[in-house]
């Protein structure tokens, strides 16, 4: 078995799991255009999900300063409304152009409207494991890439030739100022970046490398197996040996059910799942989705559906996990047995260890819960719920230092998770660190403006600040 990753960060962190780890860097499918409308204005831009909230927070101030010094510079943003509000409150009024999140095609069209593209990444293990796709997207659309000096971009970008790398907000400000002042530099960088991607990072020019590599893994005595019967196959063209596996009727019905349920029509969704199960009796996913639907809506038949899924696919880990969760309230001992069986058979499956810790914590078995939370984090250092659980346990024991470490780790690991930010806000308040508490309150609201407990924390912060002012 071989592990395929997209960059050196992932390879360095996880190659211990398998010595046969290979990097297949991301490629771009289609190139955009170098053309830009010359209207005398320069547009700096960024697009990203709420998972990048912490990444962009540290650069907003410096971008605002640069824009204040250069009235002909605008900012374009494609992100959710929470991130838009963060930028809009800092940047000069009337000079931020907002595009809501959309499709990949809409995102690529958005990139064609900007001149300088930002890619801020905090220096943390998760970001070191990212790929350089942001550089590819910018370069393929004629945008000057200005990126954090961090692992994903170190092997791709030639600083000063195909883009710029920066280490601090101050250095970012200097780079932006230089690019704004020098139209020739902007034009040279974006053309060089465009050419590099077009010549070296095109998807159609690298497909054969991947195929050749996997063919090389076949042993000398390996033989091609027979194609499974009744597969809906379609040849991709008259002059190609490529075969496309088209969706089956059961798969189509399953997708219809998932989409229907996402719109709130549970009864119609369950009908589609049953039709999919009838269409392909050996297909385990319709039974899984029947169980998942039942579990989310409090029905008592969830376990039996998960059993049907497991019968068809004994390695359906999520079905096993959710079946155990079905038993947590009425049969906690059996749920623990199920979690233990999973951790014994699949020791690297983090969700089972995390669920074990949560169930034991719920029943007050704190030492064992800590053991399982630690185990979950050992398997997956990015498991925020395990860090949060450890914070809760240490807080209940009065160990403020360890509690703060747990809550802080959870908040750092999951910026869009309101509960983690809220827990850290409360802990900072308990330490009378009002500025930090206010900051985590702000992050809670960005993640979930309707969080039920955050108003109480904010009110207490203001009360204490008022008391201090009156001393």
- HEC profile of 332-395: HHHHHHHHHHHHHHCCCCHHHHHHHHHHHHHCCCHHHHHHHHHHHHHHCCCCHHHHHHHHHHHH
Q: What is the pLDDT of residue 204?
A: 85
* Same domain membership, residue 159 and residue 96: yes
86 shares its domain with 98: yes
Q: Is residue 354 part of a domain?
A: yes
The DSSP secondary structure of 190-251, one letter per residue, reads: HHHHHHHHHHH-BGGGTHHHHHHHHHHTS-TT--PPPPPTT--EEES-TT---EEEPPPHHH
Same structural domain, 197 and 48: yes
Domain of 58?
42-203
> Please, are residues 252 and 236 in contact by the beta-carbon 8 Å criterion?
no
Together in a domain, 305 and 437 = no
Phi first, then psi: what are they for 367, rounded to 5°? -65, -45
> Where does a domain end: 323, 349, 364?
323
Cα distance between residue 419 and residue 445, in whole Å: 10
Q: Which two tokens stand for residue 467?
A: 């008391």
221 assigned to some structural domain = no
Q: Of 151, 183, 203, which residue is a domain's last?
A: 203
Flag whether 284 is in a domain. Answer: yes
The answer as to whether 432 is a domain residue is: yes
In a domain, 241, yes or no: no
Q: What is the pLDDT of residue 38?
A: 86
CATH number, domain of 376, equals 1.25.40.10
Query: At CB < 8 A and 24+ separation, what contacts does 311-315 make?
Result: 311/284, 312/282, 312/283, 312/284, 312/287, 313/284
User: To 5 degrees, how large is the angle CA 82–CA 88–CA 89?
Assistant: 95
How far are the Cα atoms of 117, 272, 273, 306, 319 from residue 309, in angstroms, in the given order? 46, 16, 12, 5, 7
* Average pLDDT, 10 consecutive residues per value, the chain (471 residues): 86 76 91 91 94 89 97 96 92 96 94 97 87 97 97 95 97 97 97 97 86 74 60 64 78 96 94 96 96 94 96 95 94 95 92 97 97 94 93 96 95 89 97 95 91 95 92 75
Q: Give the model's pLDDT for residue 398.
A: 95
Rg over alpha carbons for the chain, rounded to the nearest Å, is 26
Q: Has residue 233 been placed in a domain? A: no
**Would 21 be classed as within a structural domain?**
no
Contacts 24+ apart (CB under 8 A), 289-296: 289/254, 289/257, 289/258, 291/319, 291/322, 291/323, 292/322, 293/261, 293/266, 293/269, 295/322, 295/325, 295/326
Instruction: Indicate if 347 and 408 belong to the same structural domain.
Output: yes
Same domain as 453, residue 396 = no
Residues 195 and 50 in one domain: yes
Exposure string for 199-217, b = 16+ CB within 10 A, e = fewer:
eebbeeeeeeeeeeeeeee
* Cα distances (Å, whole numbers) of residue 214 to 2, 131, 218, 227, 386: 9, 21, 7, 19, 37
Domain count, the chain: 4
What phi and psi, each to the nearest 5 degrees, are found at residue 202? -95, 135
Does a structural domain hold residue 384?
yes
Q: Where does a domain end: 279, 307, 323?
A: 323
Q: In terms of Cα–Cα distance, which of 122, 116, 119 is closest to 135?
A: 119
Environment class of 463 (CB within 10 Å of its CB; exposed 0-12, middle 13-18, buried 19+): exposed
Q: What is the CATH number of the domain that holds 102?
A: 3.40.50.2000
The reply to whether 48 and 178 lie within a common domain is yes
Same domain, 71 and 156: yes
pLDDT at 219: 64
The answer on 370 and 272 residing in a single domain is no
Q: How many CA atoms lie within 13 A of 302 on its CB side?
A: 20
Q: What are phi and psi of 258, to 5 degrees?
A: -65, -45
Q: Are 103 and 166 in the same domain?
A: yes
Given a contact cutoff of 8 angstroms between Cβ atoms, the answer to whether 67 and 73 are in contact is yes
Which residues are bridge partners to 73 per DSSP? Answer: 42
Is the domain of 353 the same as that of 397? yes
Query: How many CA within 13 A on the CB side of residue 16?
Result: 3
């Amino acid at each position: 078995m071989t592990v395929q990753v997209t960059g050196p960060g992932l390879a360095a962190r996880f190659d211990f799991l398998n010595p046969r780890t290979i990097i297949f860097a991301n490629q771009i499918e289609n190139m955009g255009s170098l053309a830009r409308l010359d209207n005398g204005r320069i547009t700096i831009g960024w697009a990203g999900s709420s998972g990048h909230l912490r990444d962009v927070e540290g650069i907003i101030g410096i971008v605002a300063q640069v824009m204040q010094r250069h009235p002909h510079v605008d900012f374009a943003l494609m992100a959710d409304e929470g991130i838009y509000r963060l930028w809009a409150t800092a940047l000069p009024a009337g000079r931020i152009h907002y595009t809501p999140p959309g499709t990949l095609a809409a995102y690529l069209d958005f990139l064609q409207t900007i001149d300088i593209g930002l890619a801020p990444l905090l220096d943390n293990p998760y970001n070191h494991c990212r790929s350089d796709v942001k550089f590819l997207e910018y370069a393929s659309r004629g945008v000057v890439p200005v990126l954090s000096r961090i692992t994903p971009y170190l092997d791709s970008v030639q600083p000063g030739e195909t883009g710029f790398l920066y280490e601090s907000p101050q250095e970012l400000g200097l780079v932006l100022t230089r690019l704004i002042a020098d139209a020739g530099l902007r034009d040279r960088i974006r053309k060089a970046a465009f050419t590099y991607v077009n010549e070296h990072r095109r998807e159609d020019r690298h497909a054969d490398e991947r195929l050749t590599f996997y063919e090389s893994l076949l042993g000398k005595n390996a033989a091609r197996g027979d194609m499974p019967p009744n597969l809906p196959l379609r040849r991709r063209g008259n002059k190609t040996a490529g075969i496309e596996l088209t969706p089956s009727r059961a798969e189509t019905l399953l997708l219809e059910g998932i989409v229907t349920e996402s719109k709130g029509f549970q009864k119609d969704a369950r009908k589609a799942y049953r039709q999919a199960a009838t269409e392909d009796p050996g297909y385990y996913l319709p039974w899984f989705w029947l169980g998942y639907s039942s579990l989310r809506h409090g029905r008592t038949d969830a376990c039996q559906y998960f059993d049907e899924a497991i019968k068809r696919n004994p390695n359906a880990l999520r079905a096993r996990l959710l079946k155990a969760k079905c038993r947590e309230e009425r049969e906690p001992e059996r749920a623990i047995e199920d979690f233990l069986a999973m951790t014994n058979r699949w020791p690297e499956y983090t969700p089972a260890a995390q669920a074990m810790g949560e169930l034991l914590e719920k029943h007050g078995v704190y030492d064992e819960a800590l053991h399982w939370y630690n185990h979950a984090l050992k398997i997956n250092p990015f498991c925020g719920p395990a860090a949060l659980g450890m914070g809760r346990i240490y807080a209940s024991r009065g160990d403020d230092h360890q509690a703060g470490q747990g809550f802080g780790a959870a908040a750092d690991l999951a910026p869009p998770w309101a509960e983690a930010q809220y827990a850290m806000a409360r802990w900072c308040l308990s330490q009378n660190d009002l500025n930090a508490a206010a900051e985590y309150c702000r992050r809670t609201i960005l993640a979930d403006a309707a969080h039920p407990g955050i108003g109480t924390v904010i009110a207490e912060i203001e009360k204490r600040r008022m008391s201090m002012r009156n001393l």
